[in-house]
Structure 1
Amino acid sequence: MQKEKTEDENPLLPLELEHQKQQQQQQLSLIKEFNHESKKLWSIAGPAIFTAVCQYSMGALTQTFAGQVGDLELAAVSVENSVIAGLGFGVMLGMGSALETLCGQAFGAGKPKMLGVYMQRSWVILFATACLLTPLYTYSPYILQLSGNTPEISQAAGKFALWMIPQLFAYAFHFPIQKFLQAQRKVFVMAWVSAIVLVIHVFFSWLFMLKYGWGLAGAAVVLNGSWWLIVILQLIYIFATKSDGAWSGFSWLAFADLWGFVKLSLASAVMLCLEFWYLMVLVVIVGSLPDPLIPVDAISICMNLQGWDAMIAIGFNAAISVRVSNELGAGNYRNAKISVTVVSITSVAIGFVAMLVVLATRDSFPYLFTTSDAVAKETTRISILLAFTVLLNSLQPVLSGVAIGAGWQSLVAYINIACYYLFGLPAGIVLGFKYGLGGMGVWGGMIGGICLQTIILIVITAFTNWKKEVDEAESRVRKWGGSASFD
């Protein structure tokens, strides 16, 4: 009887084994796809993170040298960098980000010559934007004084802002060049240029600000010069190599379809500026609390750390924007989906590790920035919010990068307004002021806004019809191609 039972069961064994084999092959295939896509993402994200760190370091090191010159000089550079230049940087970065969608999809569609025309159109628009923003720098002493700064700091920062107008126009050329090179995955070029300029920046900052005693004037000369040097070196590379056919010289097509290009640029600017300025507002609001000195110092320390951590998120934002736009332009909707999955898992894993590091060092890291026990104690108290912010900001910029790569800027702009400024900001003000929770209440409410926005973007991304996005990308490439043939 046992023999007969075994013989009856034997025919089922090959089917079960075959099914198990298929499952194992599928799992191996998924792991292989994940690893393959991960290599592609890191090949873009790694150099992009390094580039972001180098460029962020230029402003940070200028502040460090200014601190060695004097307290007023430190305050002037810090306020100008965070308020005036911060506003200008956000607007110019946002306006230039329209190029990420257009250049990435055109490159993926095999239309590299269109990238040069797109970059020139963006130069025209960003140069005009820089002219419109110039009064912000010119009247910055009055603006800063109205925002609550002392007359002494406002005058010093305002004078420094006036000297930093050349940096604003460097942004007008830099951001289109950055998006142009990123779309072609030429991120190593940007990384090398940024590293070389950073070394030069450190030497001349020391020479002019400390050795020659030029103070703020030396800081302005070096910081302006460093940003323009980045622009010039990248342009030399593009003009010398023709960027593998993506640059074919200056064209009158740069002035065609400008209004449509402006509308897409404005949508990108609104989307990114609302994100970029959101946490900047935190310090301003906390400064309005009763006895704000200790809370402001504590939150400034946390924002400093969050700024460095954001460089990782910026790298992944650039990487997923390039990958999604390239794959949609090429018609590979499945690869676009895989890219989104891989980068989301990777960035959240890194964010989780960063969160654990913050929590593990919350009693010690404040003393890297302050000698005040009161400030350090307050920083330790609110570090739990920094930990959650670090985790959320590991995924949120990635989802914004997906939106840019797919061309959803207008939709995300509306989402940001609702989540950040109609929900998160009022919630923070109510918790901080009405319920007396102070800085923690303000920050906690604003984290709620980030949470809500992230959840909405996850839902949108999860239910996206990527086949339809391929058709949208094809239509966008035809629409923005201008009247010339690029085939």
Structure 2
Amino acid sequence: MSRGGGEMEERLLNESETEQRREILYLRKKIWTEVGKMWRIALPSTLFRVTSFGCIVVAQAFIGHSSDTGIAAYALLQTTFMRFVYGIMAGMSSATETLCGQAYGAQQYHMMGIYLQRSWIVDTFIATLFVPFIVFAGPILRALGQNVEITETVDEIYAWVIPYLYSIVFTMTMQMYLQAQMKNAIIGVLSVIALVLDIAVTWWCVSVMGMGIHGALLGLNVSSWSMVIAEFVYVFGGWCPHTWTGFSTAAFVDLIPMLKLSVTSGFMLCLEYWYTSILVLMSGYAKDANIAISAFAICQYIYTWELNICLGFFGAACVRVANELGKGDADAVKFSIKVVLVVSAVIGVICSALCLAFGGQISYLFSDSHAVSDAVADLSIVLSISIILNIIQPILSGVAIGAGMQSMVAIVNLSTYYAVGVPLGVLFIWVFHFGVKGLWSGMLVGVALQTLILCYVIYKTDWEVEVKKTSERMKAWSLTLQEPGAISPRDEERK
């Protein structure tokens, strides 16, 4: 009897161990499958963002080795007006990401091309509203008390920024459109080609033709518009047959809801972009404005390189959440969030460690000045802390955008950044006299608070409710069904 009981216990134990192994293998397979889906989106998205920003940095690098005033003027214009408008356009295009991602998940492929056209109309209209701010950038900066010599150089170069502004409208929206349907590998390839072209054209214009800062900005425009033309060829040339069926008057329907979602998205992201730009603007009031602005601009470039890597995962989080919400799978949404957060955290820690290890040496890529290098080295610790805080925040924002929660994130950004971070930073710099490093440190408190609030909101979100909201949104915004007998992208994949 005891022998039989022992055999029974051993059999049950073996069965239990076998079941545990199956669960572990299933979980491991599930994780790797999700990681594969994530990288399929994140890698091209990261390449796009890194190379797009790389084109801006290429101009900075060429200018920095030829003119101290030029690098300060370009840095001031780029980190204030250009960065602000870029944030608006990036945010507004995230509305395209939300709608196209959810439409793809719900298999409403016919609506994706219509959403893309609506975004072109809305984003072009908003971009045009900001042109006067670019035109009068110099006078505005002088009215704010910025260095006269630097702002007069801004007067000479603002016209080069306007074509670049309109190129962003198309590159951003088409990247989101292609990313939502897992066709963004082409974006990664085109981005790398555009960066190589930018380096070649900028070198020719600056080093060979001697065009200086104007040549650097010409190279930026050539590369950005070559990217737009290549994307047009891909989309219009038949490589998106199920989601692009040509221009349609349906693009002019429901523009107001599209405008509301786009503006909310733009407001959400521009608050983040402008937040860090305040550092550069405030550094313009320093005693040696050229060194202060240049040092902060270089720190912001390093920070933005890492941010753009995180924004690749931001895009992955957005698409994966939107796709799974469109499918109606709440459990898959929660699982994808966990996976992308872990991967982003690992990469963020590595980037922070590299920043601490190399410090001011990185500044010599942008400037030959030893004073600028020393200023950058002095800020490297604060920069590394910024990178650490930047690990989770973009992912949480991406999750919110994928679920269509842009208005909530905009409110959180406004309250934490500008009601807490900025006043605290100003207190540190003007009351406690901690310098501009104190300003940056105070503003990091706002970032930390924003991250904690978003963690709580995402944790408490009922994803079953979000699935229902997504279904209702897709029904309300859908216009025409696919043609009978049409083969969907997923049917093609199965074949």
The TM-score bracket by the shorter chain reads: over 0.9
| Cα displacement (A) at 1:432 | 2.4
Name the structure 2 match of 1:451.
448
CA distance in 1, matches of 2:56, 2:265: 24
Question: Which letter maps to 1:174?
Answer: T
CA contact (8 A) 1:84 1:161 kept: no
Q: Is residue 146 of structure 1 aligned with residue 157 of structure 2? A: no
Q: Is residue 71 of structure 1 aligned with residue 54 of structure 2? A: no
Name the structure 1 match of 2:477.
480
Does the C-alpha gap of structure 1 residues 150 and 259 become closer, same or farther in structure 2, counting only changes over 3 Å? same
Deviations 1:41-67 (A, max 9, x none): 111111211222221111111222223
Q: 436-445 vs 420-429, which deviates more?
A: 436-445
RMSD: 2.4
Name the structure 1 match of 2:426.
429
Name the structure 1 match of 2:350.
353
CA distance in 2, matches of 1:366, 1:196: 26
| Cα displacement (A) at 1:440 | 3.0
Question: Which letter maps to 1:389?
Answer: S
Q: How does 1:322-337 map to 2 (within 5 A)?
A: 322-337=319-334
| Cα displacement (A) at 1:451 | 0.9
Question: Which letter maps to 2:274?
Answer: W
Q: Is residue 340 of structure 1 aligned with residue 337 of structure 2? A: yes
1:227 is aligned, of 218, 224, 231, to 224
CA distance in 1, matches of 2:372, 2:220: 31
Q: Is residue 54 of structure 1 aligned with residue 42 of structure 2? A: no
CA contact (8 A) 1:45 1:315 kept: yes
CA distance in 1, matches of 2:363, 2:233: 43
Deviations 1:249-268 (A, max 9, x none): 11111111111111111110
Does the C-alpha gap of structure 1 residues 183 and 414 become closer, same or farther in structure 2, counting only changes over 3 Å? same
CA contact (8 A) 1:69 1:209 kept: no
Name the structure 1 match of 2:247.
250
| Cα displacement (A) at 1:441 | 2.1
Question: Which letter maps to 1:315?
Answer: G
Q: Could you say what secondary structure the match of 1:39 adopts?
A: helix
Q: Is residue 104 of structure 1 aligned with residue 101 of structure 2? A: yes
CA contact (8 A) 1:193 1:233 kept: yes
CA contact (8 A) 1:66 1:216 kept: yes
Does the C-alpha gap of structure 1 residues 370 and 197 become closer, same or farther in structure 2, counting only changes over 3 Å? closer
CA contact (8 A) 2:43 2:188 kept: no
CA distance in 2, matches of 1:369, 1:212: 21
Deviations 1:412-467 (A, max 9, x none): 11011111111111111112221222233212211111111111111121222112
Question: Which letter maps to 2:118?
Answer: R
Deviations 1:77-99 (A, max 9, x none): 33332222222211111122111
CA distance in 2, matches of 1:358, 1:210: 30
2:37 is aligned, of 18, 23, 40, to 40
Q: 443-452 vs 68-77, which deviates more?
A: 68-77
Question: Which letter maps to 1:308?
Answer: W
CA contact (8 A) 2:59 2:217 kept: no
Q: 282-291 vs 430-439, which deviates more?
A: 282-291
Relative to the length of structure 1, the TM-score reads 0.92
CA contact (8 A) 2:389 2:448 kept: yes
CA distance in 1, matches of 2:452, 2:412: 11
Does the C-alpha gap of structure 1 residues 331 and 209 become closer, same or farther in structure 2, counting only changes over 3 Å? same
Does the C-alpha gap of structure 1 residues 371 and 59 become closer, same or farther in structure 2, counting only changes over 3 Å? closer
Name the structure 2 match of 1:164.
161
CA distance in 2, matches of 1:211, 1:181: 37
1:215 is aligned, of 209, 212, 216, to 212
CA distance in 2, matches of 1:152, 1:270: 32
Number of matched residues?
483
CA distance in 2, matches of 1:424, 1:22: 51
CA contact (8 A) 1:69 1:210 kept: no
CA contact (8 A) 1:102 1:476 kept: no
CA distance in 2, matches of 1:97, 1:122: 10
CA contact (8 A) 1:289 1:438 kept: no
Q: 45-54 vs 412-421, which deviates more?
A: 45-54
Name the structure 1 match of 2:188.
191
Relative to the length of structure 2, the TM-score reads 0.91
Q: Could you say what secondary structure the match of 2:241 adopts?
A: helix
Question: Which letter maps to 2:182?
Answer: R
Does the C-alpha gap of structure 1 residues 74 and 384 become closer, same or farther in structure 2, counting only changes over 3 Å? closer
| Cα displacement (A) at 1:153 | 2.1
Q: 152-161 vs 416-425, which deviates more?
A: 152-161
Does the C-alpha gap of structure 1 residues 103 and 287 become closer, same or farther in structure 2, counting only changes over 3 Å? same
Q: Is residue 265 of structure 1 aligned with residue 294 of structure 2? A: no
| Cα displacement (A) at 1:171 | 1.8
CA contact (8 A) 1:301 1:369 kept: yes
| Cα displacement (A) at 1:8 | 6.0
Q: Could you say what secondary structure the match of 1:394 adopts?
A: coil
2:120 is aligned, of 119, 123, 127, to 123
Structure 2 spans left out of the alignment, 5+ residues: 484-495
| Cα displacement (A) at 1:7 | 6.7
Deviations 1:342-397 (A, max 9, x none): 00011011112222223333475566666666655554443222222111112111
Q: 169-178 vs 309-318, which deviates more?
A: 169-178
| Cα displacement (A) at 1:170 | 1.5
Q: Could you say what secondary structure the match of 1:421 adopts?
A: helix
CA distance in 2, matches of 1:418, 1:436: 25
Does the C-alpha gap of structure 1 residues 386 and 191 become closer, same or farther in structure 2, counting only changes over 3 Å? same
CA contact (8 A) 2:75 2:293 kept: no
Structure 1 spans left out of the alignment, 5+ residues: none
Q: 270-279 vs 169-178, which deviates more?
A: 169-178
Name the structure 2 match of 1:402.
399
Name the structure 1 match of 2:379.
382
2:203 is aligned, of 188, 202, 206, to 206
Name the structure 1 match of 2:86.
89
Q: Could you say what secondary structure the match of 2:228 adopts?
A: helix
CA distance in 1, matches of 2:363, 2:196: 28
CA contact (8 A) 1:106 1:112 kept: yes
Q: 140-149 vs 280-289, which deviates more?
A: 280-289
CA contact (8 A) 1:286 1:442 kept: no
CA contact (8 A) 2:72 2:293 kept: no
2:465 is aligned, of 456, 463, 468, to 468
Question: Which letter maps to 1:119?
Answer: L
